[in-house]
Chain A
Amino acid sequence: MKVYSILRLALACLLLHTTIVLAEEAQPLEANQAIEVQVQRLSEELRCLVCQNQTLADSHADLALDLKREIREMATKGMSDKEIVDYLVERYGDFVRYRPPLKSSTVLLWVGPFGLLLAGGVGLFLQLRRRQTMTTDAPLSAEEARKVSELLDKES
């Protein structure tokens, strides 16, 4: 990869007839990319504890950097996502997780939206059905007549 890039750059320079010094390849800040992917994935789910409201991934606070370094160490040791999160939760409590765990105190949080959706859907359907039987055409025409006359008044 590196050789290829240098070759390509050199070729580009040749083509352009420029005489720049052959550039160095920028090195990744962290050597192990697989570990970095895991660290990134985890730090998007975890809270920077000293910040207003930021994930570890977004934060540049010292404590966030320390915590990220710690996560990196754990990841290097081969710990799984779950093991790392469990360790952090043990130390800092659920507060550190941006994805709250499902437990008795958070059932409402997780089930609420979908329960509401269900209730809304069922309510909507029943309401529509009820309308069918309850609404007759008589009030409709009166209503519409009034509306029409009103609009006509406005427009003319």
Chain B
Amino acid sequence: MIPEIGHFALILALLVSLVLGTLPIIGAASGNAVWMGLARPAARAQFLLIAVAFVCLAYAFAAMDYSVMYVAANSNSKLPIQFRIAAVWGGHEGSLLLWAMILSIWTVAVSLFSKHLPDDMRARILGVMGLVSVGFLLFMLMVSNPFERLIPAALDGRDLNPLLQDPGMIFHPPMLYMGYVGFSVAFAFSIAALLGGQLDAAWARWSRPWTTLAWVFLTLGIMAGSNWAYYELGWGGWWFWDAVENASFMPWLVGTALIHSLAVTEKRGSFKAWTVLLAICAFSLSLLGTFLVRSGVLTSVHAFATDPRRGLFILAFLVVVIGGSLALFAWRAPTIGRGGKFSVISRESFLLANNVLLAVAAISVLLGTLYPLFLDALGFGKISVGPPYFDSVFAPLMAPALFLMGIGPIARWKNASLPELAKRLRWAFGVSIATAIILPLLLGNLTPMIGLGLFLAVWVFATTANLVYQRLRGSDQALITRIKSTPRSWWGMVAAHLGIAVFTVGVTIVKGYESEIAVRMAPGDVAHLAGFDFTFVGVDEIQGPNYSASRGQLRVTKNGVERTVLTSEKRLYTVTNMPMTEAGISPAVIHDLYASLGEPLTDGAWSVRIYHKPMVEWIWFGCLMMGFGGILALSDRRYRIKKRSKDEALANEAVA
């Protein structure tokens, strides 16, 4: 009964989203205030209905209703409750429901926080989001219904993929989806502006906080995923250039470009057409990514062909959304003004150059991800495009972007002078070059990649320090007043850029200096790595809720002083009969010690892999700083003033 209620709620949600996607937009075009006014109640009704469907599916999981096919395929009675709930988004159908759910959350958020927008603008924005929602709900109801019954019911479920049975599963997907579905807001703002012909600084200003918020979610979501892979996959990698990761990384790259381009559009009125195009691309890549991951086309072109209905729907939807919005763009773009004048050397130009680099990087990732699919589909044979390809293509594209990142914020708007910039940055440059050569020599390994990575990281640190110094010096006010009087969005930029530097340090150092050993260890044996002694305590058998595991412990000492104990498990999940490794990690600022238990050998010995990962945590800390920077920018006074003045206006109205 409950699943039918969920199914019915989805059908109602589709009807509501059809209303939301049509009447307000038509109303905005014809000036019909009643039809425009439908947007807000419809957005809320749609949210409630999808929430009901979502809760129904979660309930089916919690209640172990194995007469629902999706529940039977993705959970098991022995699965702990938190993973049974997270299993809602553990498979294809449920993650589409999560997508629709999050889209409706963003839609409702826009309807709540858009009181200051003109009515027609708001109606168009909510309408466009409604149209996207129509696509997803139709897709679910037509070809991948999560509430589909299984008759007769299964006795027990087939269990959630053991890889996904981890706290990461609870946070990572919703966070990531909040990110890339969040770009639907920027997309809807752009389409609405193209439809209404109101592309101005105000438009940029309104869509900016939404874009930043989505970007923060996406950054943190990707970070959570990378960290999860690091401890879950058992060998300490943190990025694999897997298509699923690329699907989230492409919108991130374009979203990052979009944030910067929006800043220029808001402050200087330039790049309007480019900003709109980026907003369309960011969301299109989100859609493409979702479907690439969800359609099974990645595992093999043939998986796509085995269920042609899904594939065709996906293709049609992508063509309609992406093609439609690009066509609209092409039609309307010539009417968009050019904005302020600026010279070839100016902050605008640097930002635009960075945008080009980020866009080229995104397209390259797309190329590498899709290329094998196209070759295969065209009958040119199967190839694999993996980390060696992406590493060698990505680094040369990102290096100039990081270099420009140091110059951009220092260059003046409109017109900057190269000699002046060179003079101001010569110290930063010298320090970066010196560090990039001396530090690796001290650490005992200088390769071009290490040198380049460190140079760029220190360059970003040094130029940002210079920027902050110049901003704060030379005024009679107290330092604290000067810090406070600087807008939070500016500090947000500083924090995010420093985050990139911290991230770059982490990547460079861990790639350049990590070490590992693979040893055979019997209880009492000692292995040595990076100055630490690892004593194998032994293995004991433990029983988890739905797995049995061998748990091995390594006592870590340095010069005889005990530092930590690493506990690694080798689990066997009983339902799926899949082995999993839980790594034992001791994280620290300087380095992680990382151990994973391999296979049992003869005489009670085990194969054990031990890794020394210097500064690997900096990778995620850098991402956290970027996210924090975004949040700082969102808390900027400008957005609060707007609110306060509105509250005052309301108060005045009440008095009057």
Contact = CB atoms under 8 A, between A and B. Distances in A.
Interface of A: 5, 9, 11-13, 15-16, 21, 23-30, 36, 44-45, 47, 52-55, 57-58, 60, 93-100, 105-106, 108-110, 112-114, 116-117, 120-121, 123-125, 128-129, 131-132, 134-137, 139-140, 143-144, 146-147, 150-151, 154-156
B413 interface: no
Contact of A106 (B360, B383, B559, B560): B383
Given A29-B519, A128-B344, A143-B337, A99 B386 contact: yes
* 8 nearest A-B residue pairs (beta carbon): A12-B560, A98-B386, A113-B364, A99-B388, A26-B527, A26-B519, A26-B525, A120-B356
B234, B364, B384, B642 pick with most chain A CB within 10 angstroms: B384
Nearest to B267: A147
A106 B524 CA distance: 52
B114 to A, nearest CB: 14
B383 A113 contact: no
A92 B559 CA distance: 49
Interface string B464-475: 000000000000
B321 interface: no
B360 A120 contact: yes
Interface in B341-397: 341-344, 349, 352-353, 356-357, 359-360, 363-364, 367-368, 371, 375, 380-389, 392-393, 396-397
A47 B130 CA distance: 43
Nearest to A142: B337
B22 to A, nearest CB: 30
A21 B384 contact: no
Contacts of B534: 26
Contacts of B371: 106, 108-109
Contacts of A36: 518
A99 B385 CA distance: 6
12 contacts: A5-B526, A9-B560, A12-B560, A26-B519, A26-B527, A29-B518, A44-B388, A100-B389, A143-B337, A147-B200, A151-B205, A156-B645
Contacts of A55: 386-387
B482 interface: no
B607 A29 contact: yes
Given A28-B517, A99-B388, A94 B360 contact: no
Contacts of B641: 155
Nearest to B519: A26
A39 to B, nearest CB: 11
Contacts of A57: 235
A27 B519 contact: yes
A102 B381 CA distance: 14
A29 B364 contact: no
Label chain A's interface by main secondary structure.
Answer: helix
A11 B560 CA distance: 9
A47 B387 CA distance: 11
A81 to B, nearest CB: 12
B426 interface: no
A147 B364 contact: no
A124 B519 contact: no
B79 interface: no
Contacts of B522: 24
A23 B535 contact: yes
Contacts of A140: 339-341
B79 to A, nearest CB: 22
B528 A94 contact: no
A94 B381 contact: yes
Contact of B380 (A21, A45, A105): A105
B382 A135 contact: no
Contact of B353 (A53, A97, A124): A124
Contacts of B381: 93-95, 105
Contact of A58 (B237, B579, B642): B237
B520 A27 contact: yes
Interface string B317-350: 0000000000000000000011111111000010
Nearest to B338: A135
Interface of B: 116, 200-202, 205, 233-235, 237, 240, 242-243, 269, 298-299, 337-344, 349, 352-353, 356-357, 359-360, 363-364, 367-368, 371, 375, 380-389, 392-393, 396-397, 517-522, 524-528, 533-536, 557, 559-560, 579, 581, 607-608, 641-642, 645
Nearest to B243: A53
A90 to B, nearest CB: 14
B360 A15 contact: no
Contact of A147 (B201, B242, B299, B581): B201
A47 B397 contact: no
Contact of B520 (A29, A45, A120): A29
B233 to A, nearest CB: 7
Given A29-B518, A94-B383, A139-B338, A12 B524 contact: no
B375 A112 contact: no
A21 B520 contact: no
B385 A109 contact: yes
A47 B242 CA distance: 12
Given A27-B520, A109-B368, 11 more contacts: A9-B526, A26-B525, A26-B536, A95-B384, A96-B384, A98-B387, A100-B389, A106-B371, A108-B371, A129-B344, A156-B645
Contacts of A144: 269, 340
Contacts of B242: 53
B343 A150 contact: no
Given A26-B526, A113-B393, A116-B363, A147 B387 contact: no
B363 A143 contact: no
Given A52-B299, A55-B387, A105 B375 contact: yes
B560 A16 contact: yes
A2 to B, nearest CB: 10
Nearest to A12: B560
A154 B202 contact: yes
Contact of B388 (A60, A98, A131): A98
Given A12-B560, A30-B518, A116 B269 contact: no
Given A100-B389, A120-B360, A151-B201, A26 B383 contact: no
A45 B391 CA distance: 12
A154 B206 CA distance: 11
Nearest to B518: A29
B359 A120 contact: yes
Given A114-B396, A120-B359, A146-B200, A95 B518 contact: no
Contacts of A113: 360, 363-364, 367, 393, 397
B250 to A, nearest CB: 13
Contacts of B201: 147, 150-151
Contacts of A54: 240
Contacts of A26: 519-521, 525-527, 534, 536, 608
A1 to B, nearest CB: 9
